[in-house]
Amino acid sequence: MKTMRRTALWHVIALMTAVLVLQGCGTTTQPQTQKQKQTTHHPKKTQASTAPQYFRGALPALDAVQFLSSNEGFVAGQGIVLATSDGGQDWTRIYQGSQTIAAVAFPSATQGYALTTGGQVLAWQQGGSQWQPLAGLPGSASAIWLSGTSIGQLLTTQGTLYRPAASAGAWQAESPKGVIAASFDGSTGWAVTGGSSTAPEVWLTQNGGASWSSSFSPKLGQATGWSATISSAAGTAWLLLTSSSGQSEHQPYVAYVTHDLGQHWQEILGAALFAGQGMYPAAPSSLYGLQAGPVTGGAQSAYFVSWKPGNPNDVLAVTATPDGGQSWQQLPVQGVAHAATPYFFHPLGVAALPGGTLWLVGSRSGAGTMLVSHDGGGSWQALTP
């Protein structure tokens, strides 16, 4: 009997030992359990936050594009900002929210700013889960640019340029006033003033916006009522002025370029206020009558997104120069389905890279479209994430 009791006791001890061993082995899964508990306490997402994740599916309407290199770029639009690190093959969503992003400004692939259509500026850094509103803005913003390697200029709805002041969260107003367009290439920048009652004038800064000097006053047949876009690189600036006046579908426009930091400006392309009115140089016959859109350019090449009235299927074109504005060619955006071509009279974003790579984003019928050309606009490819 004692032997049986002793045997049963050893069985119990062996069983308890086995249980303890199994529990000890189970500690290898404990860090995963603890990690799961920790993740449940993360802050909930807000409308201006998102965890980066690969994006697949239909694009919402797109308004803006920026590329830092042939691989690193960003597109943004209705409630979304997407990033790519492989030239557009794959996209990561770094913002998803209720606000429409009208413009982006990224000094690097790990830091960026986004302007909403409501005039709010959001800031983001890689590794952070939220886009934080910039504090202390002096009113609703209508545009934002970068000078140097940090946020540089903020344009309010009143046309006043602001830059960060010495004290944190404060902004300092700068001259000139009434700014309607600007462009920066490092610490060198250009600003265009004007409006419905003021003639256009171009200003230059070479210290990141701390001070400005007048560079150019275009001589126009109609002094006021012009809108402007400007693009700059390596001491060259491309200026496009467009007017709402005109006949039927015809849009008056005039383009200028400087290759020597504003010492000399050349009138390179234009269409008169009315057909046959010789205010500007005669535009090439293949370009006359087009609607001129956003412009992007480098030291010698420039690209104007354009649309010619009466074009079959409402096809966009790219008006391009490879030689500093001496010659021009209008290249229809072809090789893609009509439904994938952005509509000219919606917001458009265009970006150019050295070597002739062009990016064009926009929307048609409420859906976002994203096109890329690797031969300066000769042929195009529609991208679908």
Q: Is beta strand 201-205 parallel, antiparallel or unpaired with respect to 188-193? A: antiparallel
47-382 folds as: Methylamine Dehydrogenase; Chain H (2.130.10)
d(CA 114, CA 137): 14
* Identity at 191, one-letter amino acid code: A
> What is the full DSSP assignment across 27-79?
GGGHHHHHHHHHHTTSPPP-TTB---EE--SPPBPEEEEEESSSS-EEEEEEE
Decide: pTM greater than 0.85. Answer: no
- Residue 350 CA to residue 340 CA, distance in Å, equals 15
Q: How far apart are CA 128 and CA 302, in angstroms?
A: 36
Per the DSSP assignment, residues forming a β-bridge with 370 are 361
Of 291, 290, 272, 289, give the one whose Cα is nearest residue 281.
272
How far is CA 125 from each of CA 113, 132, 134, 355, 356, rounded to the nearest angstrom? 9, 9, 13, 29, 30
| Separation CA 279–CA 272 (nearest Å) | 6
- Of 317, 319, 322, whose CA–CA distance to 355 is shortest? 322
Distance CA 27, CA 141 (A): 55
- Rounded to an integer, what distance in angstroms lies between the CA atom of residue 139 and that of residue 181? 18
Q: Report the pLDDT value the prediction gives residue 152, as an integer from 0 to 100.
A: 66
Give pLDDT tens digits along the chain (385 positions).
434 434 433 343 343 333 333 334 333 333 333 333 333 333 333 445 556 678 988 999 999 999 999 999 999 999 999 999 999 999 999 999 999 999 999 988 998 999 999 999 999 987 766 899 988 888 888 888 888 756 666 767 678 888 888 777 788 888 888 999 999 988 899 999 998 888 999 999 998 888 899 999 998 877 888 899 999 998 999 999 988 775 556 677 888 999 999 999 998 887 765 544 444 455 555 566 677 888 999 999 999 898 877 666 677 889 899 999 988 888 888 889 888 999 988 899 999 998 899 999 999 999 999 999 999 999 999 998 8
Q: Where are the alpha helices (DSSP H) in the chain?
A: 2-26, 30-39
Distance of alpha carbon 351 from the chain centroid? 8
Neighbours of 284 (CB within 10 A): 13
Phi-psi domain of 324 (left: phi exceeds 0; alpha: psi -120 through 50; beta: other): left
Do residues 50 and 129 touch, judged by C-beta distance below 8 A? yes
Question: Strand locations in 234-298, DSSP E?
Answer: 236-243, 253-258, 266-271, 291-297
Please tell me the predicted confidence (pLDDT) of residue 21.
34
